[in-house]
Amino acid sequence: MVFFRSFVFLFVLHLLQGSNTSLVRLENNGYEGIIIAIDPGVPENEALIEQIKDMVTSASTYLFEATEKRFFFKSISILIPETWKENPQYKRPKHESYKHADVLVTLPALPGGDEPYTTQFSGCGVKGEHIHFTTDFVLGKKQNQYGPTGRLFVHEWAHLRWGVFDEYNDNEPFYSVTPRRIEATRCSESVTGMNRVYKCQGNSCALSKCKINSTTQLYEKNCQFFPDKEQIEKTSIMFMQSIDSVVEFCNEKNHNRDAPNLQNKMCQSRSTWEVISISEDFKNTTRMEKSPPPPAFSLLRIRERIVCLVLDKSGSMGDYNRLNRMNQAAKLFLLQTIENGTWVGMVHFDSNAIVKSGLIQIISTNEKDKLLSSLPTAANGGTSICAGIESAFQVIGAIYSQLSGSEIVLLTDGEDSSASLCVDKVKESGAIIHLIALGPSADKAITQMTTITGGKHFSPSDNAESNGLIDAFGALSSGNTAASQQSLQLESRGLKLSYNLWMNGTVIIDSTVGKDTFFLITWEKQYPTISLWDPHGTSMTNFIVDNDCKMAYFTVPGIAKAGVWTYNLQAKADSETLTITVNSRAANSSVPPITVNAKMNKDTNSFPNPMVVYAEILQGYTRIIGANVTAFIESSSGKTEVLELLDNGAGADTFKDDGVYSRYFTAYSANGRYSLKVRAHGGANTVTRSFRHTPNRAAYIPGWVVDGKIEMNPPRPEINKDSQTIVESFTRIASGDAFVVSNVSSSALPDLYPPSQITDLEATFDGDMINLTWTAPGDDFDVGKVKQYIIRTSGSILDLRDNFDDALQVNTADLVPNEANAKEIFAFKPGNISEENATHIFVAIRSVDKSNLTSKVSNIERVALFTPVPDESQPNPNSGISISSLVLIVVGSVVLVSIILSITICTIQKKKNSSKPTTGF
């Protein structure tokens, strides 16, 4: 038992790996398959493509030298919007899409909002989601503020690929080191510069020395660090790569562990190079002897969408009403989800395959009706998945000479031992396979096809009331069009009812959507009573009823009225299952709709490792905070777990109020596939658009110190960190890709999961007491209640990190833990400080559950035990003396000393000469 617990503990402490949406590969030290995608809203500008090439080319050389000749950029695909004109140089994408973009190039969300940043959902050492650049940044218009584009690309790549964090902190730009020394937050400390306040009134601006704030005992709010333009320090790229001399990452020897930055907080005071050095990339490479070749670029332009439905009609599809449910979902896809202009074909398969429709371009309802009439009506025969895929290739090849970028939506419920035989052909084709694995027996070999082609993977169960099959087809909007063109799901709900009972509810249609609003009702046995009212109380009666497929649907003409729509559905059969689905599109192409993206941190997992659920809510690229977000995780057998997702910066959630809602998931019920659905609801006056700067953004340089004088850069737009606007009420449904879990034990097991690590510990010194606040972890990660907290202090941050159990323990007898995610508050008087002249104390926490499993050591907080006073007479790196000035002073001093020595020697020599007797010849 002890061995088992130790084994599990090692698993739990292992870094969680990010979900592999990126197609990047590392081959022979070179990164291949990087996708830089230009947003569909960006106007055509060929100079942008050339600047992207220049940025990556210079970045490759900088990266190679910065990583001790280990890494470089080998091949890059630039994804060009369909709205740009055709060009002979532009090829058709293969598996590349916006979903897999490593870098997004967009217009700024706000005027002047050109800060480069990287979206990171997870903690230290875990890959990020994507890098975000604006067009003006890529075009080189912001170099004074952010530095050369190639160097900054390497800075952001380190975020994205290796999960390191920034070494500056706009929220804590200064910290105290000794009673007479305040430092700018930076790495390394050897970066020199000047601390000054820059104020403007009208057309007059002036610089002044920084003053101490009586509350924080640090410099006043407007004090800024202005770096010297000329430096000799080589580190660090994660602090300020725009300094010419900076060509390295901070390492264990020169890392500034005292600075209150994200790198120290998230990585337990380890340097960026230490984190990079334990990455899989680093382990799989060795130093290169020769310089690498320049990057190779492919220009890929998005073309019209090509989709072929490959639908299983084997005998097992007659079970659990699968065939009819598939037709209901396929009709939603053809009537609502698919975009106008898309080419669609259809293939049925059982033991063999038959082409039911060649490619038809969707222009009007006529094309949709023809495809709707081609859906299967009977289930029989075996299962030959490869036959279905081969026929789809023929359908697409009849019009297009290349299969690259085409999509195959494959729905199957059966096992097929021969499915693996066509995996290589699928990989070589360039087509993308989206898999809908229906029920618990769907062949697992096909999952490999979706992985290698970058397709989506859904796994709805036979539980009709979960509405998973309709959700899966509804989630197959094109990922290569603007969000304003995509069908968004506003509602998805099902209920099993007895005769004459009601399913009542409301749907919120906010003003960002309303075009092509589509209501779909399904049943299993008998057509129900359907009532639907708009926000003004007007009854909607024009439902189209399809009794063969047991569905009724209604499209709201024009733009649906914003507000609360009400529905009442009455069952007309016993043990009836009713579902309602509502989809809509953006009301105005110039106003981005609110969107929700749902995902797990991994696509495959082995018990007992935990997983993390993520849901990101955005309007364009602006984060939506304060929403209520719930995840529904369903096994292939139909068992559903419900989780409330949080944006509180604790437990599984990395950053508070960043629009990413997270939670640990450990409630595995069986081996096999699990599906993910997320419901987001925003109530008026509780949900806001947050305009705060993202946590991982490029350092804005306010100005440079040149020859002892500050030369200001253009100011960035002032955005109050609390700036936000109220969002109207809304609802959204999002389906994430399925994930597969193995090695789930069927027998009873001991407690496997410790409390989650505390990551938001804060400490302040007030009088003679240290006040602590943090978010309570749970008995199992972020669920339940811990048994106790262990709080320890030390005068050494490294001792506390590496030898926590040996540090001085604080008496916590009166500290009673709260339920997970509650706010904890505790104050204590520090014990005897071992060092007589100690100026700081470090504090950290571990929590213990009822099975005596302990969490990781929390983030370590520094508490100053003095009132800092800036000492202008003491030399320090922030003295404002530039390198050139320093050189002149040194040279001048040497010259002065030489003159003094010369005069002294001459004087002594004269005295010696005068004391000698005069002789004649």
Please, which residues have CB within 8 angstroms of residue 899's CB and are 6 or more apart in sequence? none
Q: Active-site residue 156, yes or no?
A: yes
Q: Give the Cα separation of 735 and 455 in Å (integer).
A: 14
pLDDT of res. 747: 84
Q: Please write the tens of the pLDDT for every residue from 649-661.
A: 999 999 999 999 9
Helix (H, G, I), strand (E, B) or coil at 629: strand
Q: Give the Cα separation of 628 and 639 in Å (integer).
A: 23
| Mean pLDDT value of segment 811-835 | 88
CA distances from 414 to 91, 327, 506, 862 (A): 37, 17, 37, 58
Is residue 676 within 8 Å of 631, Cβ to Cβ? Answer: yes
Are residues 208 and 292 both part of a single domain?
A: no
Q: Which of 710, 742, 774 is the last residue of a domain?
A: 742
Average pLDDT, the chain: 89
Are residues 29 and 147 both part of a single domain?
A: yes
With pLDDT > 70 as the criterion, what percentage of the chain qualifies? 90
Residues in the chain: 921
- Total domains in the chain come to 6
Provide the 10 A C-beta neighbour count for residue 819: 12
Q: Give the Cα separation of 668 and 287 in Å (integer).
A: 42
Q: Is residue 198 domain-resident? A: yes
Residue of 96, 156, 248, 407 marked catalytic:
156
Are residues 530 and 657 both part of a single domain?
A: no
Helix (H, G, I), strand (E, B) or coil at 166: coil
pLDDT above 90: residue 106? yes
Q: Give the Cα separation of 22 and 35 in Å (integer).
A: 8
pLDDT of res. 718: 67
Are residues 33 and 152 both part of a single domain?
A: yes
Q: Give the Cα separation of 129 and 33 in Å (integer).
A: 15
pLDDT above 80: residue 177? no
Q: Of 107-121, 496-510, 768-782, which range is least confident?
A: 107-121
pLDDT above 60: residue 859? yes
pLDDT of res. 874: 35
Is the model more confident about 221 or about 775?
775
Q: Give the Cα separation of 416 and 169 in Å (integer).
A: 55
**For 243, phi and psi rounded to 5 degrees?**
-70, 130
CATH number at residue 369: 3.40.50.410
Among 478, 515, 522, 484, which Cα is nearest to 362's? 478
pLDDT above 90: residue 698? no
Are residues 734 and 810 both part of a single domain?
A: no
**Amino acid sitting at position 808:** L
Q: Please write the tens of the pLDDT for every residue from 490-508.
A: 999 999 999 999 999 999 9
pLDDT above 90: residue 471? yes
pLDDT above 70: residue 279? yes
* CA distance between the termini of the chain: 110
Write out the H or E segment, with its range, that includes residue 670: none
Q: Which of 425, 442, 468 is the last residue of a domain?
A: 468
**Residue 179: band (very low, low, confident or very high) from pLDDT cuts 50, 70, 90:** low
CATH number at residue 788: 2.60.40
Q: Is residue 830 domain-resident? A: yes
Q: Which neighbouring-strand residues pair with 16?
A: none
With pLDDT > 90 as the criterion, what percentage of the chain qualifies? 78
pLDDT of res. 519: 98
Is the model more confident about 528 or about 697?
528
Q: Please write the tens of the pLDDT for every residue from 826-855.
A: 999 987 655 444 678 899 999 999 999 999
Is residue 86 within 8 Å of 301, Cβ to Cβ? Answer: yes
pLDDT of res. 204: 84
Q: Is residue 919 domain-resident? A: no
| Mean pLDDT value of segment 170-192 | 88
Are residues 282 and 427 both part of a single domain?
A: no
CATH number at residue 491: 2.60.120.380
CATH number at residue 285: 3.40.390
Q: Which neighbouring-strand residues pair with 419?
A: none
Helix-then-strand count for the chain, H and E = 17, 48
Q: Please write the tens of the pLDDT for every residue from 603-616.
A: 999 999 999 999 99
- Measured in whole angstroms, how far is the alpha carbon of residue 268 from the centre of its chain? 21
Q: Which two tokens stand for residue 414?
A: 């059966």
Q: Give the Cα separation of 142 and 31 in Å (integer).
A: 27
**Residue 12: band (very low, low, confident or very high) from pLDDT cuts 50, 70, 90:** very low
Q: Give the Cα separation of 133 and 52 in Å (integer).
A: 10
| Mean pLDDT value of segment 853-859 | 95
Q: Is residue 836 domain-resident? A: yes
Q: Give the Cα separation of 476 and 737 in Å (integer).
A: 11
Helix (H, G, I), strand (E, B) or coil at 901: helix
Q: Is the dihedral of CA 495, 499, 501, 502 positive or negative?
A: positive
Among 17, 168, 187, which Cα is nearest to 695's? 168
pLDDT above 90: residue 441? no
Are residues 126 and 188 both part of a single domain?
A: no
Among 114, 113, 118, which Cα is nearest to 158's? 118
Are residues 72 and 157 both part of a single domain?
A: yes
Is residue 863 within 8 Å of 843, Cβ to Cβ? Answer: yes
Provide the 10 A C-beta neighbour count for residue 160: 24
Among 193, 181, 167, 172, which Cα is nearest to 255's? 167
Q: Give the Cα separation of 123 and 111 in Å (integer).
A: 31
Q: Please write the tens of the pLDDT for every residue from 45-71.
A: 999 999 999 999 999 999 999 999 999
Are residues 458 and 359 both part of a single domain?
A: yes
Among 505, 494, 447, 452, which Cα is nearest to 471's? 494
| Mean pLDDT value of segment 176-203 | 88
The model carries a pTM of 0.90
Are residues 390 and 523 both part of a single domain?
A: no
Please, which residues have CB within 8 angstroms of residue 838's CB and are 6 or more apart in sequence? 795, 865
| Mean pLDDT value of segment 612-639 | 95
pLDDT above 50: residue 97? yes
Q: Is residue 859 domain-resident? A: yes
With 0-12 CB in 10 A as exposed, 13-18 as middle and 19+ as buried, what is 692?
A: middle
Q: Give the Cα separation of 598 and 876 in Å (integer).
A: 49
pLDDT of res. 110: 80
pLDDT of res. 535: 97
| Mean pLDDT value of segment 252-268 | 93
Are residues 285 and 205 both part of a single domain?
A: no
**Residue 688: band (very low, low, confident or very high) from pLDDT cuts 50, 70, 90:** confident
| Mean pLDDT value of segment 118-131 | 94
CATH number at residue 612: 2.60.40.10
Are residues 237 and 218 both part of a single domain?
A: yes
Q: Which two tokens stand for residue 474?
A: 């509804």
Is residue 833 within 8 Å of 879, Cβ to Cβ? Answer: no
Q: Of 21-25, 66-70, 515-519, which range is least confident?
A: 21-25
Q: Is residue 898 domain-resident? A: no
**Amino acid sitting at position 105:** V
Is residue 611 within 8 Å of 739, Cβ to Cβ? Answer: yes
Q: Domain containing 104: what range?
A: 25-167+276-301
pLDDT above 60: residue 902? no
Q: Is residue 698 domain-resident? A: no
Q: Which two tokens stand for residue 71?
A: 């890494």
pLDDT of res. 868: 54
Q: Is residue 163 domain-resident? A: yes
